Structures are given as C-alpha cells and as structure tokens.
C-alpha cells in the first residue's frame, strides 16, 4: 500500500518520549516511512512556537525529538528528514493558501475549539490566550503536506480533520485554476496501534504521571516497572493474564512466545508479580538498549544531527520550490 507512494510525517517537538509514545506512535511511523517509496519526516518547529515561547526549552525539545527518531531507526538516507523552519517555501505557500482558506474552517478546527471550550469552562473570554498561530495552524499544516505532493499522511484520530482541511483547500485552488496545481493527500489512520497502559493502568501519558521512561537509565526504568499496579493475590493463585496489568503492558513489547510464557505461568500459578515484572523489565531493556546508546550519542554530538537535518533540507527545498513556483505562476498569471 505504501510502495510507490509519498508519505509525509510531521512531529511536534514535545520533549523526550516515553515507552507509550514509542510503541504507539514513533515505531509505527518509522516502519511506515521505511516502507514508502518517498518519505518526508519533519520537525514541526513553527507549529511549536505557538505554545513554547522559551527559546532554550524549545531548542532542547527540538534536539530531543530529532535524536529520538534517529535513535529509534529513522534512516536519513531513505527518509528526507528536516526542520520545517529550514524550508521557507512552506511559509510562503501558507500565505497563498490563506487566500483560499475560509475562516470558518479555522473556527471549526478542533485544536482551536478545544481552547475556546477550556476558556468557557474557566469563565474567560472565548479567545483568551489564543494566538493567530494556533488559530491558523491547520493552514500551515496544509502547506506542510501540499508542498511535497504528498499522497499519504499517517495520522492519529485527532489529525484527520486537519488532513481533510488540506484536501479542501487544495481542491478549491485546483478548481479555481482548472488544473491540478496541488496534489490531494489522503490520511491513513493506523488501525490497532498499541495503546500502552501506564503503571496505573490508564493510558500511558506524561500528564497522568504514569509513564515508563524510554531513554532513562536502568534504575529509573526498573523503578517505573516495579510500580506497575498489582493486587495482593499470592503467587500460586492461578490468574487470568488479562487481569494482570504487567501482562497488558507486556503485550505491546513481547514476542508471541514470550507472551505465551507469561500467560501460562500466570494461569498455572507459577509466576508471581515479582517474576512478571522482571520479565517486563528485561523485555523493555532489551528493546531500548541500543536506541538509548544511540540517543545519548546523538545528543552529545548534535553537530552530526544538524548536518543530517541540513542535508534533509537541501533535498526537501527543491520540491517545495517547485510547488511554490507552480502556485505563483498560476496565482499571478505569469
Ligand atoms: N499537527 C500534528 C500534530 O499535532 C503535527 C503536524 C504538523 C503534522 N504538520 C503536519 C502532521 C503535517 C502531519 C503532517 O501531531
């Protein structure tokens, strides 16, 4: 499905990821990119400034996200890996798209609506604290996508609407000029991606404080794994594996054989919570050992990452330049 296709993935620099981000989002995105004929992968740093105003914090987050993807298997020789702000054509294209973006689209975009809802709940004016960057963010995202003649944008549910907005804007422009100036993208909503539970059983999320870290040292990972909730049933009491949270987390990382071993041991009362936690810990450490070394290496040698990003930008720019030229020629009647 992805061979012969151009796939584009954008990531916001949100800081060091946890195990749930890795298994639920990062790994599938990298795998999919590797299968695509053309893969563009970029760090959405212009999107990030809408929320993050501290340059030092922002810079650190951008570094972390770049090193994370490289450490976890993004191949910069296959995927064109760049920073959004290194491609000025994207913002020029955004300006042209504005002229074809009904304001109503922005009013309806759910990221903006969610902020309005929050303000209403807090008895604040609707647009309190909302900047134009956030308000118009779907148009910039449309330019991210349309600049590269993208076929497919892999997304989570929350981003489907944004890809549809990109399609609608592109469709309006194509209809107006009577030719395919912009390629219409499709979203790809991955089915059955792992939703990894956190140590308390709710979805793993930084905001719940229930994460298992990814690039921390063994001690920190062990501490998190051993805090996964259990009950007081004794070891020799046969247990339904699905009633054991450690097993639920193990599902997203273990091989089928490993999983069966844990399930059998729980059912037969051979494995206690200490055992299964150690099994989970081993599986996690085994999975992240190499990426963690790579991550630490890249963070300490960011100049190497910087040159990869520059190289990515030098591959991406000519493509965006072509799209921009096509648009300007049509818009200005050249
Ligand atoms: N909006 C996306 C998010 O919040 C990030 C993003 C920006 C993006 N531009 C994109 C994703 C273009 C896909 C394509 O996660």
3-state secondary structure of 39: strand
DSSP state of 84: G
**Pick from 122, 22, 137: which is nearest to 68 by CA?**
22
Percent of the chain as helix, strand, coil, to the nearest 5: 60, 10, 30
Question: What is the rounded distance in angstroms from the CA atom of residue 110 to the CA atom of residue 133?
Answer: 14
With tokens 């770049």, the residue in question is 66
Classified as helix, coil or strand, 185 is coil
Q: What is the mean pLDDT of residues 199-215?
A: 93
Task: Assess whether the C-beta atom of 8 lies below 6 angstroms from ligand 1.
Answer: yes
Residue 194: Cβ-neighbour burial (10 angstroms; 0-12, 13-18, 19+): middle
How would residue 156 be classed by pLDDT, with cut points 50, 70 and 90?
confident
**d(Cα 327, Cα 306) in Å, to the nearest integer?**
30
Mean pLDDT of 199-218: 93
Residue 212: exposure state from Cβ atoms within 10 A (0-12, 13-18, ≥19): buried
| Distance between CA atoms of residues 188 and 156, nearest Å | 8
Q: Which atom of ligand 1 is nearest to the CA of 11?
A: 5
| 204 alpha-carbon distance from chain centroid | 15
End-to-end CA distance of the chain, in Å? 38
Q: Cα(276)–Cα(246) distance, rounded to whole angstroms?
A: 7
Q: What integer is the mean pLDDT of 208-214? A: 94
Burial pattern 265-281, b for ≥16 Cβ within 10 A else e, equals bbeeeebbbeebbebbb
Binned at pLDDT 50, 70 and 90, residue 55 comes out as very high
Residue 12 alpha carbon to ligand 1 centre in Å: 7
Query: Mean pLDDT, to the nearest integer, of 136-161?
Result: 95
Q: In angstroms, what is the span from residue 238 Cα to ligand 1's centroid?
A: 46
Ligand 1 site, residue 87, Cβ cutoff 6 A: no
Q: Is the CB of 7 under 6 A from ligand 1?
A: no
**51 is written with which tokens?**
């929320």
Residue 58 is encoded by which pair of tokens? 């922002």
Residue 174, CB-side half-sphere exposure with 13 Å CA sphere: 14
**Residue 256: is it exposed, middle or buried by C-beta count within 10 angstroms (0-12/13-18/19+)?**
exposed
pLDDT at 1 over 90: no
Test site for ligand 1: of 6, 9, 10, 147, most ligand atoms within 8 A of the Cβ = 10
The number of the ligand 1 atom at minimal distance from the alpha carbon of 162 is 1
Question: Would you state the pLDDT for residue 256?
Answer: 96
Give the pLDDT band (50/70/90) at residue 277: very high
Report, as an integer, the average pLDDT of 110-126.
95
Ligand 1, atom nearest to 12 Cα: 5
10 in contact with ligand 1, CB cutoff 6 A: yes
Q: What whole-number distance in Å separates Cα of residue 267 and Cα of residue 296?
A: 40
Q: What is the pLDDT, as a whole number, of residue 194?
A: 75
Substitution site in 47, 138, 151, 161 for ligand 1 pocket (most atoms within 8 Å of beta carbon): 47
Q: Assess whether the C-beta atom of 84 lies below 6 angstroms from ligand 1.
A: no
Phi, psi torsion values for 41, nearest 5 degrees: -135, 120
Please give the mean pLDDT across all residues of the chain: 95
Say whether pTM exceeds 0.85: yes
Task: State which of 44, 134, 137, 138 you would mutate to test the pocket of ligand 1, scoring each by most atoms of that ligand within 8 A of its C-beta.
Answer: 44
CA 29 distance to own-chain centroid = 7
Determine the average pLDDT of the residues in 285-309: 97
pLDDT on residue 159: 92
110, 114, 162: residue to mutate for ligand 1 pocket, most atoms within 8 A of CB: 162
Phi, psi of 83 (to 5 degrees): -95, 135
Mean pLDDT across 79-86: 98
Domains of the chain (ranges; CATH) run 6-195+302-331 (3.40.50.620), 206-294 (1.10.240.10)
What tens digit of pLDDT does each residue of 247-256 get? 999 999 999 9
Q: Is the CB of 144 under 6 A from ligand 1?
A: yes
């Amino acid at each position: 499905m992805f061979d012969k296709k151009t796939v584009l993935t954008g990531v916001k620099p949100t800081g060091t990821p946890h195990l749930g981000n890795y298994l639920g989002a990062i790994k599938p995105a990298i795998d999919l990119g590797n299968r695509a004929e053309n893969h563009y992968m970029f760090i959405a740093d212009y999107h990030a400034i809408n929320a993050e105003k501290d340059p030092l914090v922002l810079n650190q987050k951008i570094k972390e996200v770049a090193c994370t993807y490289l450490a976890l298997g993004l191949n910069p020789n296959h995927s064109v890996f760049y920073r959004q702000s290194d491609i000025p054509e994207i913002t020029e294209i955004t300006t042209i798209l504005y002229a074809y973006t009904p304001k109503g689209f922005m009013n309806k975009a759910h990221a903006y609506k969610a902020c309005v809802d929050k303000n209403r709940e807090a008895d604040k004016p609707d647009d309190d604290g909302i900047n134009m960057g956030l308000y118009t963010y779907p148009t910039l995202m449309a330019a991210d996508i349309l600049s590269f003649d993208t076929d497919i944008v892999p997304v989570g549910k929350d981003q489907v609407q944004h890809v549809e907005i990109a399609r609608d804007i592109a469709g309006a422009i194509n209809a107006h000029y009577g030719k395919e100036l912009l390629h219409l993208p499709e979203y790809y909503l991955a089915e059955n991606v792992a939703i990894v539970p956190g140590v308390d059983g709710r979805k793993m999320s930084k905001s719940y404080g229930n994460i298992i870290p990814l690039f921390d040292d063994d001690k920190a990972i062990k501490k998190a794994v051993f805090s996964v909730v259990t009950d007081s049933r004794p070891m020799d009491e046969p247990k339904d594996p699905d009633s054991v949270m450690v097993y639920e987390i193990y599902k997203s990382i273990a091989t089928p054989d490993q999983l069966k071993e844990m399930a059998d041991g729980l059912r037969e009362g051979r494995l206690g919570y200490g055992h299964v936690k150690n099994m989970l810990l081993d599986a996690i450490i085994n999975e992240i050992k190499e990426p963690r070394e790579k991550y630490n290496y890249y963070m300490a040698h960011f100049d190497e990452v910087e040159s990869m990003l520059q190289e990515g930008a030098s591959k991406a720019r000519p493509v965006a330049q072509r799209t921009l030229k096509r648009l300007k020629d049509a818009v200005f009647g050249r």
